[in-house]
Structure 1
Amino acid sequence: MALWRGSACAGFLALAVGCIFLLEPELPGSALRSLWSSLRLGPAPPGPLSPESRLAAAWDTLIVQPARRWRRVAVGVNACVDVVLSGVKLLQALGLSPRSGRDHAILRSRNDLEEAFVHFMRQGAAAERFFSDGETFHDIAHVASELPGAQHYVGGNAALIGQKFAANSDLKVLLCGPVGPKLHELLDDNVFVPPESLQEVDEFHLILEYQAGEEWGQFKAPHANRFIFSHDISNGAMNALEVFMSSLEEFQPDLVVLSGLHMMEGQSSDIQRKRLLEVVTSIADIPTGVPVHLELASMTNRELMSSIMQQVFPAVTSLGLNEQELLFLSQAASGPHASLRSWNGVPDVGMVSDILFWILQEHGRSKGRASDLTRIHFHTLVYHILATVDGHWANQLAAVAAGARVAGTQACATETIDASRVSLRAPREFTTSHSEGGSRVVLNPNKPVAEWHRGGVSFYFTPVLVCKDPVRTVGLGDAISAEGLFYSEVPSLA
């Protein structure tokens, strides 16, 4: 009888706490959890009491379909097969041991690979590098493919973005890139590949993953992430660019997504300049009113990044990038906070906001500048920001929330956010700018998108619910950008 009374009492008290939450939803989660603990009912469940659950529920309310949706999306030009495996296990299988971390703009040997991997693993940062020795790379790739646990996936920013769009059955998706037999087999049936893009041999990229807290020698990863390297000739030369552009006239897309410019780092400066000019000329041939999104990726060549910024940014409508690319971009052009060598942990929101504003001020559309750039989607592990020039985009509150939500579901491989498997790690308070008087924002899980305005630019910030035990980190940035674009709307399309 005593046991029954105890259970009934616990149930009654739990119901009371639930009623408090319903009546006072703004009561801080910490207060509710303290109340729960004081009643000695055990750990608070990951239900409506947790900030993670409240934030996920608020997202679901905010994420609404745009009034005008894309019908045909064309994506190019980098595609490959990703071989995904444990970075530590591969380097051990290659007989390498952790000695010291050091970045290499281009990998020329196994030792360069070991040093670069350690350099980024101990930061928990994503990176991508070109391996210049083709024979050594193919030997490493063979070892990687044979290791237990190695998996093959669709790879390359364009292919990954196309694959994500193809999950929406009412969208028609065109993909142009070097598509070999293995990649063609892996692609969604809803992705159309022109015959001119098919080739006999696949391009392989090796994706070395590590988990949060994983150790190798004296080094420990603070976050789960990945290090990518390849000896990719077709994508490096952007061989699919001409096929991509020539296919647009027949396909008639209402959204174009371009990626793969970072793959040119292995090319000479002359080839880089020539290809960038061809890119800009080709974009100019796309009908007015069709937005062009450029997805950036990890780079080390400052001259190439500066050229992309000067030549390509004004030709595109939208950008997608992460914290490594954002800071490198500012460093390459002496922008705001360029003296910062690297982010110290979570990228400072005010600094990120300053750089985003500077990009749109220097290279975006304005009364005195003929530029098409009006939107930037920034993503880092614990939060996202969408910055848009006022008057050119709609539904961006839903877009940034959708991008953050897909980061949590895809990393955990779940259909919806599982509050017990994610954690809210975004800063609870931040300043929106350091360059000029920014406002102070306090994070509220019940209202998870913070909005502020500066000089004709609107900013939309939302936290990410970070997967505690991610199943796969590769392609998250591409999924985020695709999801954000899917929910975005260009009012002028009416």
Structure 2
Amino acid sequence: MMELLDEARKLSMFTAYNANVDTIVYLNGKTIQGLIDEFGAEAVRRRMEEFPRQIEEPIDFVARIVHALKTGKPIEVPLVNEELQGWFDSRFNYDVERIGGQAGIIANLLANLDFRRVIVYTPHLAKRQAEMFVRKPNMFYPVVENGKLVLKHPIEAYRENDPIKVNRIFEFRAGTTFRLGNETITVPYSGRFIVSARFESIRIYTRPELKPFLPEIGLQTDGAILSGYQGIRLCYSDGKDVNYYLREAKKDILLLKREKDLKVHLEFASIQNRELRKKVIYNLFPLIDSVGMDESEIAYVLSALGYPKLAERIFTYNRIEDTVLGGKILIDEMNLEVLQIHTIYYLMYITHADNPLSEKELRMSLELATTLAAARASLGDIKSPRDFETGLGVPYNERGEYVKLRFEEAKRRLRTREYQIVIIPTRLVKNPVSTVGLGDTISTGAFTSYLALLRRKGAL
């Protein structure tokens, strides 16, 4: 696997659009109990039943985080009330402050792995954020000077008055116990609850002066990883709306691909609003080559595409055969080249049968991805290519054989001749140092190794 990683490291990558500051709190039972006691167990339970889709007042946060702890599932919920930032800052001491956002996390990961060139772009680059990009000679931010594209380290390109986005991440550990009235709750799995800032000042777009240079960036890179579209709002006070920003996003992708068939991966994230989710899917998926998502996100996508019963089955039962069926629907309807699904216990690729890579090669790509994520979970971050070896020492999860058995059953029950579908069990760290960025790490490892294998075959 080190050989495949070395091949991937020869690539140049472009990643955009969402980078921000992540503040991290390591939750314990006492902190959770204090929040419940402050608002009252009955009030919290009532708001949990209402299941607020966004955080507008403190009890919305408490209800959603208790629900996440009860299920043990990672979740992201938008914070739309900017005034609540003071409430969070007064209630919590942040244990860690570092780069966040999919594009930011991916850029630092690629730079630390010594990829040939990493170009990261975010429309907002405040100094506090620029300082969080690793100081490596392969890390670049694109700017326009004297009518030409110039690549600089982010710290040399920040803008004094740019807004900054702060996401608050609450890490929880399996086994944490607290009480909700008469009910004792024990957290079943380790994970995180993300309070994602969604404010008017933060937009997802390419600045007008840079836009004409996107074809040049496409020529200088081997692949692009785009993310952050979940941050688009349906409408803004200046009259612009989701349709405007998605039209611009489509132009960006077409410009990146204009001079060559650049492979573009979209890292999907949960979009609570169904209308926004549907617009992102129908506007962007047909233009890109690869998508990465977890099992809950594929259910959200299927719901938006008009398959509510299948989506509900995935949410409720989480059966592999339902995920395979949903994946087949998605790559057919959106004409994707490859779909990558990551869950706690397995990783999956679904492609059409004519994909240049064999099932063995696709499996190699997923193996690299889970090993890279295991290294990150073990160490908290990846600082150099050597850290990859830590992941090799992490065992596959105890459900690995069960996963393989259920997958073979699913293949027998479903028509798969027109597809290549591979699945591997994950390497699972029992007590991870951090779970932030693991999905992004998996997708980055999978997509870059996929590109490296295509290049090996002369298909890139």
Pick the TM interval, shorter chain.
Answer: 0.7 to 0.9
Moved more, 67-76 or 183-192: 67-76
Deviation at 1:195, TM superposition (A): 4.9
Question: What SS class does the counterpart of residue 467 from structure 1 fall into?
Answer: coil
Cα separation, 2, equivalents of 1:68 and 1:84:
30
Moved more, 478-487 or 389-398: 389-398
Q: 1:463 to 1:228 in 2, by over 3 A?
A: same
CA distance in 2, matches of 1:233, 1:356: 33
Matched, 1:275 2:235: no
Q: Which is higher, the Rg of structure 1 or of structure 2?
A: 1
Match of 1:224 in 2: 190
**Local SS of the residue matching 2:226:** strand
> Which residue of structure 1 aligns with residue 341 of structure 2?
378
What is the aligned partner in structure 2 of residue 474 from structure 1?
436
Amino acid at match of 2:341: F
Q: Is the 8 A contact 1:129 1:228 kept in 2?
A: yes
Which residue does the alignment assign to 2:224? Answer: 256
Q: Is the alpha carbon distance of 1:70 and 1:104 closer, same or farther for their aligned partners in structure 2, counting shifts above 3 Å?
A: farther
Q: Name the SS of the counterpart of 1:320 in structure 2.
A: strand
Amino acid across the alignment from 1:381: I
* Contact 1:78–1:235 (8 Å) recurs in 2: no
Whole-angstrom distance in 2 between the partners of 1:142 and 1:70: 46
Query: C-alpha displacement at 1:80, in angstroms?
Result: 0.4
| Counterpart residue identity of residue 280, structure 1 | K
Contact 1:79/1:235 (8 A) holds in 2: no
Given the two structures, how large is their TM-score scaled by the length of structure 2? 0.80
More deviation, 202-211/388-397:
388-397
User: Which of these residues, 34, 40, 52, is aligned with residue 104 of structure 1?
Assistant: 52
1:425 CA drift (Å): 2.9
Q: How does 1:150-161 map to 2 (within 5 A)?
A: 150-161=95-106
- Distance, in Å, in 2 between the alignment partners of 1:390 and 1:242 is 40
Aligned counterpart in structure 2 of residue 355 of structure 1, from 326, 342, 352: 326
For the aligned residue pairs, the C-alpha RMSD in angstroms reads 3.0
Q: Pick one of 328, 352, 364 that aligns with 1:389.
A: 352
Residue deviations 1:288-319, cap 9 Å, x none?
Answer: 31011101112211111112221211100110
Q: Is the 8 A contact 1:337 1:351 kept in 2?
A: no
Instruction: State the Cα deviation string for residues 129-160 of structure 1 (Å, max 9, x = none).
Output: 2112111124314543xx1x610121001111
Q: CA deviation at 1:243?
A: 6.5
Q: Verify: 1:169 aligned to 2:114, yes or no.
A: yes
Question: Measured at CA, do residues 266 and 417 of structure 1 come closer, stay the same or move farther in structure 2, by a change above 3 Å?
Answer: same
Q: Quick one: distance in 1 between partners of 2:249 and 2:307? A: 25
**Partner Cα distance (2:208, 2:261) in 1:** 21
Contact 1:425 1:464 in 2 (8 A): no
Give 1:18's aligned residue.
Answer: none
SS in 2 for 1:327: helix
Query: What amino acid does structure 2 have at the position aligned with 1:118?
Result: V
8 A Cα contact 1:86 1:209, kept in partner:
yes
Higher helix share: 2
Structure 2 counterpart of 1:55: none
Deviation at 1:393, TM superposition (A): 4.5
Name the structure 1 match of 2:391.
Answer: 417
Decide whether aligned partners of structure 1 residues 67 and 114 sit closer, same or farther in structure 2, where only a CA change above 3 A counts.
closer
Q: Which residue of 2 aligns with 1:179?
A: 125
Percent identity of paired positions between Structure 1 and Structure 2: 21
CA 1:73–1:242 in 2, change beyond 3 Å: closer, same or farther? farther
2:25 alignment partner in structure 1: 85
Task: Summarize the alignment of residues 441-456 of structure 1 with structure 2, pairs less than 5 Å apart.
Answer: 454-456=416-418
Following superposition, the deviation at residue 417 of structure 1 comes to 3.3
Q: Which amino acid aligns with 1:109?
A: E
- Report SS of the residue matched to 2:4: coil
Q: Is the 8 A contact 2:394 2:429 kept in 1?
A: no
1:433 Cα deviation after fit: 8.5
* Per-residue deviation, 1:392: 3.9
Alignment map for 1:188-337 (pairs within 5 Å) = 188=134, 189=136, 190-195=138-143, 198-200=158-160, 201-217=163-179, 218-233=184-199, 236-240=202-206, 242=208, 245-251=211-217, 252-265=220-233, 267=235, 271-286=241-256, 287=258, 288-335=260-307, 337=309
Residue 374 of structure 2 contacts residue 394 of structure 2 at CA under 8 Å; is this kept in 1? no
Structure 1 residues 49-99: Cα deviation after superposition (integer angstroms, max 9, x where no partner)? xxxxxxxxxxx59x7359787532111000001101124566566645653
Per the alignment, residue 444 of structure 1 pairs with: none
Shift of 1:128: 1.2
What code does the residue aligned with 2:283 have?
A: Q
Q: Distance in 2 between matches of 1:333 and 1:417?
A: 37
The whole-number CA distance in structure 1 between the counterparts of 2:429 and 2:61 is 28
> For 2:364 and 2:226, how far apart are their aligned partners in 1?
23
Following superposition, the deviation at residue 482 of structure 1 comes to 0.6
How many residues in Structure 1 have an aligned counterpart in Structure 2? 409
Residues 241-299 of structure 1 deviation map (CA, whole Å, 9 limit, x = unaligned): 65664453343222111100111146469611221121112212223310111011122
**Structure-2 change in CA distance of 1:418 and 1:393 (3 Å):** closer
1:32 alignment counterpart: none
39, 53, 62: which is aligned to 1:114?
Answer: 62
Which residues in structure 2 correspond to 1:26-105 (within 5 Å)?
A: 60=1, 64=4, 71-87=11-27, 95-96=38-39, 99-100=44-45, 101-102=48-49, 103-105=51-53
- What SS is found at the alignment partner of 1:187? coil
TM-score w.r.t. the length of structure 1 is: 0.75
Match of 1:405 among 361, 371, 374: 371
Whether the 8 Å contact between 1:87 and 1:208 is mirrored in structure 2 is yes
The corresponding residue for 2:149 is: none
The superposition leaves residues 304-352 of structure 1 with CA deviations (integer Å, 9 ceiling, x where unpaired) of 111222121110011011111111111122237435266346x311111
C-alpha distance in 2 between matches for 1:228 and 1:68: 30
- Runs (4+) of structure 1 exceeding 6 A deviation are 66-69
Distance 1:461 1:87 in 2: 33
Kept in 2, the 8 Å contact 1:453–1:459? The answer is no
8 Å contact 1:77–1:244 — kept in the other structure?
no
AA aligned to 2:248 is: E
In structure 1, what residue type is equivalent to 2:328?
Answer: F
Q: For residues 162 and 179 of structure 1, what CA distance do their matches in structure 2 show?
A: 14
Letter of the 1:463 counterpart: P
